[in-house]
């Protein structure tokens, strides 16, 4: 199952991964297998298949076909140390299934205060209703996480950099503390992907991605993944099967198509985002830029130590100014769409208000925030668009 310890570089693996001859049947991209019923040769064949581990065996449509297995396998191969991957109908369903796989009533969960809002909501909503307690922690806590662990703590969840505010976490230190106490570690690695942050090499047990973002890469499908080390695979698989989660073959094929160009896209997203972030830092009206690759971002030193490059999503803080001035900046942008999600080929800008989602820490800033997804347009064109936007902001601020 695992082919993740091959010596090739990640840029090669996104091209070659998951393209087993028995799955492609000789074409380049794995065909779309549409299936619910799988037909067996005989009763004996049917019984033998049902009794076996059906991961990567045709059994019933819900357990997947070569179309889903191929993408899952390609994602496993990107993550050195990984054993296997399952796909989910969205990033959120990957997060919630992974949490359900390792938590039971009475257990305690540690979640960063910077976590993606629907992840927070699942902890305070359904998990709380099931008798699972959550402590939110300062994402910059590092080794101090040990002080928040109780005998009931079963899962340490991390998201690095954090949603909206981009704090980089000390993942290797925190996974070492957790492992010494037998606590499972989960990481939402959507921003970096294994190409920029190989999480299992830093001690993570289960890595989660909203493949909706960089894997799909074209803003036209929803998809999630969870990848486990061998010791954590069984529980993840069982929870996923029990919940009956399934990804349609067309969406899996879109994910596989996106993956083939992910390395070159990420390179351009990263390069343009750093260039635009540095430019923004110099502009009147901008108080601060929250980009992990820039020194002002909390955890920038950890980013330099642990990451292999930058992605294209970051935020900036305006220097004072009203919500209306911020809206004027965003509304007039020609090249940045106004919309949720990110990771596609096109640029996006949204107003963000992190103070609404904080409980363990207090978010304080000089003014309103804007989050930018830097797409694959020419960076100079994007800068000109933002320049005109900042002029609109300053006229009203
Ligand atoms: C978007 C996102 C998710 C959820 O993914 P969906 O596919 O939209 O459900 C999870 N985590 C992070 C960090 C995200 O940005």
91-102 and 230-243 helices, crossing angle to 10°: 110
Band (pLDDT 50/70/90 cuts) for residue 4 is very low
- In the predicted model, is pLDDT for residue 339 greater than 70? yes
Which of 143, 134, 94, 96 lies closest to 113, judged by CA? 134
Q: Mean pLDDT, to the nearest integer, of 111-124?
A: 97
- Whether 294 and 362 have beta carbons less than 8 Å apart is answered as no
Q: Mean pLDDT, to the nearest integer, of 308-318?
A: 98
| Residue to substitute in 87, 88, 89, 92 for testing ligand 1 pocket (most ligand atoms within 8 angstroms of CB) | 92
Cα of 282 to ligand 1 centre, how many Å?
A: 31
Q: Mean pLDDT, to the nearest integer, of 255-283?
A: 98
- List the CATH code of the domain at 10-259: 3.40.640.10
- In the predicted model, is pLDDT for residue 1 greater than 70? no
Q: What is the pTM of this model?
A: 0.96
Cα of 92 to ligand 1 centre, how many Å?
A: 6
- In the predicted model, is pLDDT for residue 307 greater than 70? yes
Tell me what pLDDT residue 3 has.
47
Show which residues are catalytic.
Answer: 62, 116, 188, 213
- In the predicted model, is pLDDT for residue 171 greater than 50? yes
Instruction: Indicate where the chain has its CATH 3.90.1150.10 domain(s).
Output: 262-396
Tell me what pLDDT residue 97 has.
98
Q: Is 210 a pocket residue for ligand 1 (Cβ < 6 Å)? A: yes
Tell me what pLDDT residue 2 has.
46
pLDDT > 70: what percent of the chain?
A: 98
Q: What is the mean pLDDT of the chain?
A: 96
Which of 350, 292, 349, 280 lies closest to 318, judged by CA? 280
Q: Mean pLDDT, to the nearest integer, of 369-392?
A: 98
| Residue to substitute in 163, 196, 258, 339 for testing ligand 1 pocket (most ligand atoms within 8 angstroms of CB) | 163
Tell me what pLDDT residue 55 has.
86
Instruction: Indicate where the chain has its CATH 3.40.640.10 domain(s).
Output: 10-259
Q: Which fold has domain 262-396?
A: 3.90.1150
Tell me what pLDDT residue 356 has.
87
- Whether 208 and 193 have beta carbons less than 8 Å apart is answered as no
Cα of 163 to ligand 1 centre, how many Å?
A: 9
Tell me what pLDDT residue 7 has.
65
- In the predicted model, is pLDDT for residue 162 greater than 60? yes
Task: Residue 305: count other Cβ atoms within 10 Å of its Cβ.
Answer: 11
């Amino acid at each position: 199952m695992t082919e993740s310890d091959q010596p090739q570089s990640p840029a090669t693996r996104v091209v070659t991964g998951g393209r087993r001859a028995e799955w492609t049947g000789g074409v380049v991209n794995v065909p779309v297998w549409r299936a619910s019923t799988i037909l067996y040769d005989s009763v004996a064949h049917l019984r033998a298949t049902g009794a076996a581990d059906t991961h990567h065996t045709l059994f019933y449509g819900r357990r997947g076909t070569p179309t889903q297995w191929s993408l899952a396998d390609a994602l496993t191969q990107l993550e050195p140390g990984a054993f296997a991957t399952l796909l989910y109908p969205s990033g959120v369903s990957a997060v919630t299934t992974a949490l359900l796989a390792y938590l039971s009533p009475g257990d305690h969960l540690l979640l960063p205060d910077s976590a993606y809002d629907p992840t927070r909501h699942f902890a305070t909503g359904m998990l709380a209703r099931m008798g699972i307690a959550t402590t939110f922690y300062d994402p910059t806590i590092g080794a101090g996480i040990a002080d928040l662990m109780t005998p009931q703590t079963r899962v340490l969840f991390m998201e690095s950099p954090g949603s909206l505010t981009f704090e980089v976490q000390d993942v290797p230190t925190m996974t070492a503390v957790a492992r010494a106490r037998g606590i499972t570690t989960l990481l939402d690695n959507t921003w970096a992907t294994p190409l920029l942050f190989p999480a299992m090499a830093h001690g993570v047990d289960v890595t989660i991605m909203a493949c909706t973002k960089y894997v799909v890469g074209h803003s036209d499908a929803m998809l999630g993944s969870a990848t486990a080390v061998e010791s954590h695979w069984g529980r993840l698989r069982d929870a996923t099967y029990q919940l009956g989660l399934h990804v349609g073959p067309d969406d899996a094929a879109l994910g596989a198509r996106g993956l083939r160009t992910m390395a070159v896209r990420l390179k351009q997203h990263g390069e343009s985002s750093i260039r635009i972030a540095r430019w923004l830092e110099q502009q009147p009206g901008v108080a601060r830029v929250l980009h992990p690759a820039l020194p002002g971002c909390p955890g920038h030193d950890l980013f330099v130590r642990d990451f292999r490059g930058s992605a294209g999503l970051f935020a900036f803080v305006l220097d004072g100014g009203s919500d209306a001035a911020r809206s004027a900046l965003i509304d007039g942008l020609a090249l940045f769409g106004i919309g949720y999600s990110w990771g596609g080929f096109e640029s996006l800008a949204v107003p963000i208000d992190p103070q609404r989602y904080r409980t363990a820490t207090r978010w304080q800033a000089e003014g309103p925030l804007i989050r930018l997804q830097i797409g694959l347009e020419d960076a100079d064109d994007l800068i000109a668009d933002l320049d005109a936007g900042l002029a609109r902001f300053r006229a009203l601020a």
